């Protein structure tokens, strides 16, 4: 057997042996442990319970966020006719508080030059969407409630 052929056979056998070795499972890098669950302190629990009692609402959900952890606590019931206690999965109508949240976000995006108050709403709509009337509604019109859109149903 020639020297080159021997090397080829040895290389082939070496590759075959390596390929046949059992593969060790690679362990993924260790993830940091999840943060401990948050709970409301007894003082916070008492204050929220008093706020709920004074509100005369049928139910309320409170969320406390600290870093990456969150605590949610429901009070009361889902509705006057539904005795279930609301929780973190309960859909709630935000009503007027959504105006504050939207205004804050809108202001931050304007300051960051990501949008302008004069931008038409259609700029942010999926392709092919448009308003029925030629003058497009702008973000400032939405923010100042001058867009001409009808009021939402207060009982919905």
Look at residues 92, 123, 139 and tell me which one is the last residue of a structural domain: 92
- Asked if 78 and 107 sit in the same domain, the reply is no
Q: What is the pTM of this model?
A: 0.45
pLDDT value at position 21?
45
Judge whether 13 lies within some domain: no
Domain boundary among 77, 92, 107: 92
Q: Is residue 52 part of a domain?
A: yes
Residue of 127, 147, 129 lying closest to 137 (CA atoms): 147
Which of these three, 75, 92, 109, is where a domain ends? 92
Q: Are residues 99 and 142 in the same domain?
A: yes
CB-CB contact of 74 with 61 (8 Å): yes
pLDDT for position 101: 84
**pLDDT of amino acid 135:** 64
Range of the domain at 107: 93-148
- Quick one: pLDDT at residue 34? 67
* Predicted local distance difference test score (pLDDT) of residue 6: 40
> Is 114 contained in some domain?
yes
Instruction: Report if residue 30 sits inside a domain.
Output: no
Tokens 């600290």 map to which residue? 66
Q: Residue 122: its pLDDT value, please? A: 82
* pLDDT given for residue 7 in this prediction: 43
Number of domains in the chain: 2
pLDDT of residue 145: 82
Whether 83 and 109 map to the same domain: the answer is no
Instruction: Pick out the chain residues at pLDDT < 50.
Output: 1-2, 4-22
Give the per-residue SS3 of 88-136. CCCCCCCCCHHHHHHHHHHHHHHHCCCCCCCCEHHHHCCCCCCCCCCCC
Give a yes or no: residue 103 inside a domain: yes
Same domain, 70 and 111: no
């Amino acid at each position: 057997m020639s020297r080159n052929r021997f090397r080829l056979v040895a290389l082939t056998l070496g590759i075959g042996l390596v390929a046949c070795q059992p593969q060790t499972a690679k362990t993924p890098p260790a993830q940091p442990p999840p943060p401990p669950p948050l709970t409301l302190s007894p003082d916070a629990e008492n204050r929220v319970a008093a706020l709920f009692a004074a509100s005369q609402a049928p139910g309320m959900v409170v969320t406390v966020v600290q870093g990456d952890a969150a605590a949610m606590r429901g009070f009361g019931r889902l509705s006057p006719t539904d005795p279930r206690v609301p929780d973190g999965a309960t859909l709630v109508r935000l009503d007027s508080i959504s105006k504050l949240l939207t205004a804050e976000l809108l202001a931050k995006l304007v300051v960051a030059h990501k949008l302008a108050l004069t931008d038409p709403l259609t700029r942010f709509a999926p392709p092919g969407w448009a308003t029925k009337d030629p003058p497009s509604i702008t973000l400032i019109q939405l923010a100042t409630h001058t867009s001409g859109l009808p009021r939402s149903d207060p009982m919905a």
